[in-house]
């Protein structure tokens, strides 16, 4: 983690700031009830990014940890705080968490049109592995499914390749 930054558990007290970032970041933002539900689920992890000594939230992420998979549901950085590598800091934190949990992979879905996010994810080690047609309800846009294969860092080894089925 970059010096001067800290990632903490999100609380309901953080929701006003988180929702403000959410609304500025997405054309179909999560409503407060979704964040509140994620805060209650035992498999869900909600984190906020702050600078040391500051209360303001720079960004956040929400992810699930189930069995040997970590699934990224939501990540955003305050638009006024972008281009400082805070998104990358959040993804590095997510990867470190996944490795400590012996996860085999991290998955996510991203709008096909969100090239900035796709580029960020690719630089963080994700690769496209599929498409979910008409995934987004607000406009029917496809989602690109991306995967970060952590198999080599877990106890179970790498994911099988497509050629493995043809033996």
Q: In what order do the strands lie in the sheet with 127-132?
A: 5-9, 44-51, 57-66, 69-77, 105-111, 143-149, 127-132
Percent helix, strand and coil across the chain, each rounded to 5? 35, 30, 35
Residues marked as catalytic: 109, 121
DSSP 3-state assignment of 57?
strand
Alpha-carbon distances, residue 44 vs 2, 74, 111 (angstroms): 24, 11, 22
From the list 28, 25, 39, 15, the residue with the least C-alpha distance to 143 is: 28
Query: Which element (helix H / strand E) includes 29?
Result: none
């Amino acid at each position: 983690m970059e010096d001067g930054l800290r990632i903490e558990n999100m609380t309901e007290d953080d929701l006003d700031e988180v929702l403000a970032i959410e609304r500025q970041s997405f054309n179909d933002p999560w409503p407060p009830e979704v964040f509140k539900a994620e805060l209650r689920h035992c498999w869900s992890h909600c984190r906020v990014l702050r600078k040391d000594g500051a209360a303001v939230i720079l960004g956040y992420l929400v992810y699930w940890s189930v069995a040997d998979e970590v699934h990224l549901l939501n990540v955003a950085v305050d638009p006024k705080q972008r281009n400082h590598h805070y998104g990358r800091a959040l993804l590095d934190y997510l990867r470190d968490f996944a490795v400590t949990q012996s996860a085999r992979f991290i998955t996510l879905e991203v709008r096909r049109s969100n090239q900035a996010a796709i580029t960020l994810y690719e630089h963080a080690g994700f690769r496209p592995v599929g498409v979910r047609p008409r995934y987004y309800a607000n406009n029917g846009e496809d989602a690109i499914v991306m995967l970060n294969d952590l198999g080599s860092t877990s106890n179970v080894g790498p994911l099988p390749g497509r050629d493995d089925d043809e033996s």
